[in-house]
């Protein structure tokens, strides 16, 4: 599903590569934790998957497509197959829960009837049934993140990328978020989650890829966050 072949990415303002000859394979339906200290290359990995950045060396394949051969105008179609969740939720403050989720479908031109049908399903899937009319400021951090996950998942992407989704949420609430991500993973969606949250990684017992200074230093199935932390 995601295939990195000897990928190197150097940002113009930095000497050290953000990713240095990284090769990673993530299969369909996998749940992968991406761990490592800040600046280890986790975010760069996610940005390369989205084709927000181009690698300087190596090749990136996502959902069977070679991204270096993907023309710019086709990038939106790639992104429709990828859902994204961030630490800061990125909800629209002037839209309620339903509208925030529906926005993702409206802007890719889905018909209104389809939106009316699928949005409530996804809102329920993330555990927000009965809260579709709430505004973001009326929700807790955990609930806001559930809205963001619903928005990322409503178009049934093949891949869900989560960049520290529990970074702004207390540990008890984080468990709920992880359950939602796990539920999404069980529908066959590949989930890649970058995180610093050792407790979550240890409890989930999923594949762990550890990056350090742009290199893969560990790739464990059913791994833990790591002894060093």
Instruction: Say how far apart CA 105 and CA 102 lie, in whole Å.
Output: 5
Distance of closest approach, residue 80 Cβ to other proteins, in angstroms? 3
According to the binding rule CB under 8 A, does residue 29 interact with other proteins? no
According to the binding rule CB under 8 A, does residue 12 interact with other proteins? no
Q: How far is CA 105 from the centre of its chain?
A: 18
Among 3, 47, 65, 110, binds other proteins (CB under 8 A): 110
Do 87 and 164 meet the contact criterion of CB atoms below 8 Å apart? yes
Distance of closest approach, residue 78 Cβ to other proteins, in angstroms? 7
Instruction: Kindly give, in sequence order, each residue whose CB lies less than 8 Å from that of residue 81, ignoring residues fewer than 6 positions away.
Output: 62, 63, 157, 158, 159
- DSSP 8-state assignment for residue 73: G
According to the binding rule CB under 8 A, does residue 80 interact with other proteins? yes
213: left (phi over 0), alpha (psi -120 to 50) or beta: left
- DSSP 8-state assignment for residue 229: -
- DSSP 8-state assignment for residue 68: G
According to the binding rule CB under 8 A, does residue 191 interact with other proteins? no
Instruction: Kindly give, in sequence order, each residue whose CB lies less than 8 Å from that of residue 66, ignoring residues fewer than 6 positions away.
Output: 59, 60
Binding segment for other proteins (CB under 8 A), chosen from 83-91, 125-133, 167-175, 177-185, is 83-91
Binding segment for other proteins (CB under 8 A), chosen from 16-24, 98-106, 175-183, 215-223, is 98-106
Residue 192 DSSP SS3: strand
Query: Across the strands, what pairs with 32?
Result: 192, 207
According to the binding rule CB under 8 A, does residue 137 interact with other proteins? no
Distance of closest approach, residue 141 Cβ to other proteins, in angstroms? 18
Distance of closest approach, residue 76 Cβ to other proteins, in angstroms? 4
Q: Which is nearer to other proteins, 147 or 201 (CB)?
A: 147
According to the binding rule CB under 8 A, does residue 71 interact with other proteins? no
Instruction: Kindly give, in sequence order, each residue whose CB lies less than 8 Å from that of residue 128, ignoring residues fewer than 6 positions away.
Output: 97, 143, 146, 147, 150
According to the binding rule CB under 8 A, does residue 131 interact with other proteins? no
Task: Using CA atoms of 36, 226, 190, 119 in order, give the dihedral in degrees to the nearest 10.
Answer: -80
Binding positions for other proteins, 36-65, rule CB under 8 A: 50
Distance of closest approach, residue 100 Cβ to other proteins, in angstroms? 9
Query: Across the strands, what pairs with 220?
Result: 208
Distance of closest approach, residue 166 Cβ to other proteins, in angstroms? 19
Q: Which is nearer to other proteins, 25 or 88 (CB)?
A: 88
Binding positions for other proteins, 144-163, rule CB under 8 A: 151-152, 155
Name the site residues for other proteins (rule: CB under 8 A).
Answer: 50, 73, 76-84, 90, 92, 103-104, 106-112, 115, 151-152, 155
């Amino acid at each position: 599903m995601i295939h990195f072949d000897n990928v190197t990415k150097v940002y113009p303002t930095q000497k050290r590569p953000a990713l240095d000859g990284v090769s990673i394979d993530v299969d369909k339906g996998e749940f992968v934790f991406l761990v490592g200290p800040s600046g280890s290359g986790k975010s760069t990995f996610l940005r390369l998957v989205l084709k927000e950045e181009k690698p300087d060396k190596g090749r990136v394949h996502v959902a069977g497509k070679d991204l270096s051969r993907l023309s710019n105008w086709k990038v939106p179609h790639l992104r429709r197959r990828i859902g994204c969740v961030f630490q800061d939720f990125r909800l629209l403050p002037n839209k309620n829960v339903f509208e925030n989720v529906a926005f993702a479908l409206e802007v890719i031109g889905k018909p209104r009837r389809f939106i009316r049908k699928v949005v409530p399903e996804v809102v329920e899937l993330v555990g927000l049934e009965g809260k579709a009319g709430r505004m973001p400021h009326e929700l807790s951090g955990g609930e806001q993140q559930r809205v963001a996950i619903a928005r990322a998942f409503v178009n049934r992407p093949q891949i869900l990328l989560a960049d520290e989704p529990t970074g702004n949420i207390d540990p008890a609430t984080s468990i709920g978020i992880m359950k939602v991500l796990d539920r999404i993973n069980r529908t066959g969606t590949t989930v890649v989650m970058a995180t610093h949250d050792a407790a979550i990684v240890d409890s989930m017992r999923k594949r762990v890829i550890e990056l350090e200074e742009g290199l893969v230093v560990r790739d464990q199935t059913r791994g833990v966050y790591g002894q060093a932390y």
